[in-house]
Amino acid sequence: MLRTRLCEILGIDVPIILAAMGTATSAEFAASASNEGALGSIGSLLRPFTAVQRDIDAVRELTNRNFAINHTPPTLDADAFRHTLAARPPIISFALGDPGELVRKAHDVGSKVMIQVTTVAQAIEAAERGADVIIAQGGEAGGYAGFVSTMALIPQVVDAVSPIPVVAAGGIFDGRGIAAAFMLGAVGVNMGTRFLASKEAPIGDAWKAAIVEAHSEDAVKIELLNDIQPLPGTAGYGTVSRSIRTPFIDQWATRREAARQEREHLLRNIQEKSQAGRRHEVFVTSGQTCGGIKEILSVAEIIRKLTAEAEIALTSAAKMMSG
């Protein structure tokens, strides 16, 4: 069994976290990961309070294992956070901005706290806030991320915040990536794109198909989105989202000033297409790992495959070093 210190801290069986991914989230999705011994996460970013409330209330009916509820300080929904505190989840996570006093409030209800960062300076700040676990996210990641690569970021963060455990995120899609994260000093991984290409992921089939069919170079940073919807990208940690290229992105990426002038119209267009199940026509959130993902599997199959591959990779590395 693939176990690290993270398993003891978070009360899980395998050191794998299903990332909280904005609107690509649900209680059912989180529970499918938690029930396999990983840590499922429920996201709140840009979601209505009623949807977040429903997931928080439903998840304990779907799993008796630990899970996390994620909040983003730059876009914090006060009602959703109050409901989270009332639910006293095992873990509360934060991303995209300094949570400040929110960490103390989470600890006061007995929750462990994870904070996702994109730079060493942010990691040090997270440690000072009292984070129990720090997720260091490299720029290869999908969704809102920074610019420093995972390979460069993880060991620097590990050195800066020791002995606080560090989880690696960005650029990991198989067991070899998990083994590599361990070699960099991480005690676990936080994965998004690999799980988006799963049967349980609450996104459209066209989005899943786009991930499987894409090459890594198709997943590009879209400054355009910060022009149209400045929060959370331009606030907090100053992140930029990554998406597989679409005709919408190609049309507007080089016309950013025009996009800023048409902000309300374009944002309404994005929202309407998302609500109609056609989000893949505008943004297809994905990390650069899309190039290595070739099939849509169940969450259980993904977790079992990841752990088996990681164990093989670690054993092979040990044999290689022993000659």
Tell me what the mean pLDDT of segment 47-53 comes to: 96
Q: What is the pLDDT of residue 289?
A: 98
Q: Is the pLDDT of residue 323 over 70?
A: no
Tell me what the mean pLDDT of segment 196-216 comes to: 97
**By mean pLDDT, which of 156-160, 181-185, 249-253, 284-288 is the weakest?**
249-253
- First-to-final CA distance of the chain: 25
Q: What is the pLDDT of residue 144?
A: 96
Q: What is the pLDDT of residue 275?
A: 80
Q: Is the pLDDT of residue 321 over 90?
A: no
Q: What percent of the chain has pLDDT over 70?
A: 100
Q: What is the DSSP letter of 314?
A: H
In angstroms, the CA 248 to CA 321 distance is 49
Q: What is the pLDDT of residue 217?
A: 97
Q: What is the pLDDT of residue 23?
A: 85
**By mean pLDDT, which of 9-13, 115-119, 138-142, 227-231 is the weakest?**
227-231
Tokens coding 69: 């509820």
Query: What tens digit of pLDDT does each residue of 55-101 get?
Result: 999 999 999 999 999 999 999 999 999 999 999 999 999 999 999 99
| Domains with residue ranges and CATH for the chain | 5-202+300-322 (3.20.20.70), 205-289 (no CATH)
Full-prediction pTM beyond 0.75?
Answer: yes
In angstroms, the CA 276 to CA 268 distance is 12
Residue with more model confidence, 321 or 117: 117
Is 25:56 a contact under the CB 8 Å cutoff? no
Tell me what the mean pLDDT of segment 283-307 comes to: 97
Per-residue HEC secondary structure of 53-117 comes to HHHHHHHHHHCCCCEEEEECHHHCCHHHHHHHHHHCCCEEEECCCCCCCHHHHHHHCCCEEEEEE
In angstroms, the CA 28 to CA 311 distance is 28
Alpha helices (H) along 168-244: 175-183, 193-196, 205-213, 223-228, 230-233
